[in-house]
Each structure stands twice: as C-alpha cells, then as structure tokens.
Amino acid sequence: MANPSTLTAEEPHLHAAHATNKTYVNIAIILAVITAVEIGAIYLPWPDVVKFVLLGILSIAKFAMVCMFFMHLYFDSRLLTFLFAAGLVLGVLTTLTLKALMYVPSLSPPPKPAAVALKPPDAKRGMVVFETVGCTACHFTKDVPGQAIGPELDGIGTRGATRIKGMDAKAYVEQSIESPQAFIVTGFEDKAQMANLRGNMDDQEYADLVTYLISLK
C-alpha cells in the first residue's frame, strides 16, 4: 500500500481510501454537535474562565477536525501540515501578543492627569469637547454635525430645566452625562443606550462641555 505521505496529487482517489463519505458525514454531525455544545455553554452556571477554557478546547477540536479530515491533512504529506502550521502559529502569536500588549500597564498610555485648578468654564472649548469626545456618535447641534441616534441637543439649555422636577438645566445635563440611564427621553427608549463618556474627559473638559450644552437655548 502506498505511503500516504508520498502520494502525488494525481492520485487523490488513493487518499479517499482513508476517508469514506460516511466518515465525512459523521465528522459533520460531530461538528454540528460541538457547535450546539458551544452555544449551550453560554448558559452553564460555571465561572467565565472555565467556560472560556471549554470553548477554546471545543473550537480547536472543530478546527482540527476540518483540517485533518475535510482538508485531508491527516492523510497528506507532513510538508503541507508544516506550511499551514507555520502561518497558523504566527497568526495565533500575533493575536496573543497584541492582546497582551493591550493589558500590560507599563505599555498602556498613562491616565489623563486631573486638572489641578480649573479655569472658568468656556462654551467654545466645550463645543470642541462635544466634537471630539464621542458625543457626535449619537447627538448633533446646530453648530456640530453628528448622528441622530439620540435627541438633538439644540435647546437643551431651556428644555433641560423642564425634564425633571426640581432640577435645573445644568444639573440635568450633568446627570445625563454621568448617569446616562437615569432619565431616558420619551421616544428614545428603544434606541441604543447612551454610553458613559465622563471617563473620557478631565474635569476642565467636563465643565466646558456642560457650559456649552446649557448655552444651547
């Protein structure tokens, strides 16, 4: 019998002697079952780390089965396995390295220093903060274009004072930034929930932004 590792591409029918259609169907069934187990693992009452390990093992098992049987690496020359594995290992190492780099504190950007003494808040500077900090992903004003996922903010300096009883416009705007879910404007309940962007700005930028917003009468 021919050594599978020496079979040429002109004899693919000889490879087939190692795997029948029944084998392929069985492999496909196993792959489908593993996928179902992966989905079921989401709902298991286990710690996340255990579930991640389980998912990793299942995913590698599926990957290996397709490579070995559907792609015939199990029967083919080891040279082909090496060619593929070389790229695969580099790809995996790239992923792990980048993920690790993002988690090493010494290599992460330093946190923004807190402002020692705040300057008087300024609406013009606040408008720049509004443009750059991420607000325009959902809001817009007459001065600054943005997406219309959240409410338009022109007039918030007036409207804000009427939203919650006993709360003026400044307090309302501050609450909306620091606790975005505290009050949802009618008609926007089903939209994507607003993110808390307070951590993206220092105290000076925050004060400027609030001043800008309540200047929108």
Partner 1 sequence: MSDALAVPHGHGHGHGHEHDHEVGCTGLHHRKIMMWAFLGSDCMFFGSLIATYVAYVGKSPIPPVPYDVFDLNVTSISTFVLLMSSLMMVLCLSAIQRNDIKWFRVWCAMTAFFGLIFLGFQYYEFSHFVSRGLTLKSSLFGSTFFVLTGTHGTHVAIGVLWLLSMLFFSYRTGFGRERALDVEIAGLYWHFVDIVWIVIFTVVYIVEFVVGHPGG
1 is an interface residue for partner 1 by CB under 8 A? yes
Residues numbered 198 to 217 that lie near partner 1 (CB under 8 A) are: 199-200
Inter-residue contact 43 to 54 (CB < 8 Å): no
Rounded to a whole number of angstroms, the minimum distance from the CB of residue 58 to partner 1 is 8
Candidates 80, 118, 182, 185; binder of partner 1 (CB under 8 A) is: 80
b/e burial code for range 193-215 (CB count within 10 A of at least 16 → b): ebeebbeebbebbbbbbbbbbbb
CB 48 to partner 1: min, Å: 6
Contacts of 122 (CB under 8 A, 6+ apart): 208, 211
Shortest distance, CB of residue 215 to partner 1, whole angstroms?
24
Residues numbered 8-67 forming contacts with partner 1, rule: CB under 8 A = 8-16, 21, 24-25, 27-28, 31-32, 35, 38-39, 41-42, 48, 51-52, 55-56, 58-59, 62-63, 66-67
138 binds partner 1 (CB under 8 A): yes
108 binds partner 1 (CB under 8 A): no
Local structure of 159: helix, strand or coil: helix
CB of 182 to partner 1, least distance (A): 16
Q: What is the CA radius of gyration of the chain?
A: 29
Based on the shown chain and the rule CB under 8 A, indicate whether residue 104 belongs to the binding site for partner 1.
Answer: no
Question: Using alpha carbons only, what angle is made at residue 62 by residues 90 and 53, rounded to the nearest 5 degrees?
Answer: 75
Nearer to partner 1, 15 or 125 (CB): 15
Minimum distance of partner 1 from residue 14's CB (angstroms): 7
Among 53, 97, 124, 155, binds partner 1 (CB under 8 A): 97
Nearer to partner 1, 169 or 209 (CB): 209
Q: Among residues 75, 134, 170, 171, which is the contact residue for partner 1, using CB under 8 A?
A: 134
Is position 189 an interface residue for partner 1 (rule: CB under 8 A)? Answer: no
Nearer to partner 1, 80 or 185 (CB): 80
d(CA 212, CA 217): 10
- What percent helix, strand, coil does the chain show, rounded to 5? 60, 0, 40
Per-residue burial over 43-68, b = 16 or more CB atoms within 10 Å of its CB, e = otherwise? eeeeeeeebeeeeeeeeeebeebebb
